[in-house]
Amino acid sequence: MLVAGVDSSTQSTKVVLCQAEDGAIVASASAPHPDGTECDPEFWWQALAQAGDGLLDQAAAVGVAAQQHGMVALDEAGQVIRPAILWNDMRAAPQTRELIAELGGPAEWARRTGSVPAVSFTVTKLRWLAEAEPDNAQRLHRVVLPHDWLTWRLGFGRPGTAALPDAEPVTDRGDASGTGYFSPADGQWLPDIATAALGRPVATPRLAGPAEVVGRTPDGAVLSCGTGDNMGAALGLGITEGDVVVSIGTSGTAYAMTSEPAADVTGAVAGFADATGRFLPLVATVNAARVLTLTARLLGTDAAGLSDLALAAGPGAGGLTLLPYLDGERSPNRPDATGVLNGITSANLTPGNLARAAVEAVLCSLADGIGNLADCGITPERVVLIGGAARSPAVRSIAPAVFGVPVTVPDPAEYVALGAARQAAWALSQSAESQSAGSGGDRPPDWPGPPARTFTAEPRPDIRDRYATLRDDTAAWHERKRQ
């Protein structure tokens, strides 16, 4: 049998069609999304229609993974009130600070929700809506996440139709753990926090189990509960305890699967749940592959040209150090920050050094994330590097020098969509048809891990030291300016 996995990311929808038994990819397709920090969910639906055309109708089960934290605001009729505010939107920075203080400070947030909310979290968007758009706040009945909304729509209409389902939207504990009003440790919603943020009660999706069948498409395909994009990637990679995954895509992430929940009072590590019943402590950055794209554009080249330039320059970029907070930053929590290029001289301001500084900056930012996980007791036995930027020869070569450990790079694949497909296969194994045939299980199907290469390099702590000095000096300057 065949199963389909959907990855609805910030930039596009990807669909993979796989064999349920071993995850072998049979076909795949993609369709773009509009750029920006908010989006009408109908664009996701249209992109799913385009990418899923000829694929979804072959699947016996479908799973959806999507970008975390996005606020899809629905009225009582299930209609979308306003464009969804996405994870990368920084408008709720003041409301984030208000909410952290109101609940009792970072330690109390970490105790109750496993995380200190960053500006990307859904709960901050609720407060912003209450303050900035009171009429929409009054119309609001229910908030769902992007993957919830797409799964809900698939349970009633084929992609491309405008029909709305009567069934209650469903989510999973992985994506729910990024809202800021859910307890990963207890597996329960925290409605008092959502009420405090909005000023009145708001409905949440029903919480489903990791392998639960939550519905069927009009074609009869089983629908799994879906999950967030990072949880989907972890499932697609088949990571185990001891792995730290670093992803360099639209956002940057560093995360690990653990058996125990995390609660970091500093706010650096988000104590998320995963898609299997365990936990996924995670550090996320706003600035990742886009830093490389913009640097390449500035230098009049493309990704391959930037890689060549960076590899031609020496370690340390001739003394150039870039702080890559081009769009504010989430880790560390500096939504109002800007980028800084330091150490410029007439001798070192070359295209090669600038390219190298950009690559080193993105990797240093994520190395900080690995360090944040280590502060929570998570020591990597290996670093697994994924995301679009992991295809860059410069990133692959420089990463082990910056991280200080060997780096494993799996072959390029749509791991979020593969994780969604693996979850769909798991749900299919729990369905009535499979149960009567004697299949099923309490763990995801055992799909083989992806082919991978391992890269090594002499550690260069001097690069991280210089980056850390710039990071901390810039933070101190901003603090003095606020005072």
Question: Which of 394, 403, 323 minimizes the C-alpha distance to 356?
Answer: 394
Question: Which of 387, 401, 326 minimizes the C-alpha distance to 356?
Answer: 401
Q: How far is CA 480 from CA 186, 267, 469, 476, 483, in A?
A: 40, 22, 16, 6, 5
The two structure tokens encoding residue 101: 């203080």
Q: How far is CA 430 from CA 187, 297, 344, 416, in A?
A: 21, 49, 60, 21
Catalytic residue among 229, 243, 264, 327: 229
Question: Which of 236, 228, 308 minimizes the C-alpha distance to 272?
Answer: 228
Question: Which of 123, 79, 61, 66 minimizes the C-alpha distance to 98?
Answer: 123
Active site residue 229: yes
> d(Cα 167, Cα 13) in Å, to the nearest integer?
24
Q: Are 144 and 213 in contact (CB under 8 A)?
A: no
Task: Give the strand pairing for 206-207 and 84-85.
Answer: unpaired
Q: How far is CA 354 from CA 295, 314, 360, 473, in A?
A: 8, 11, 10, 21
Cis amide leading into 32 (omega within 30): no
> d(Cα 289, Cα 124) in Å, to the nearest integer?
25
The alpha carbons of the chain give a radius of gyration, in whole angstroms, of 22
Residues annotated as catalytic are: 229
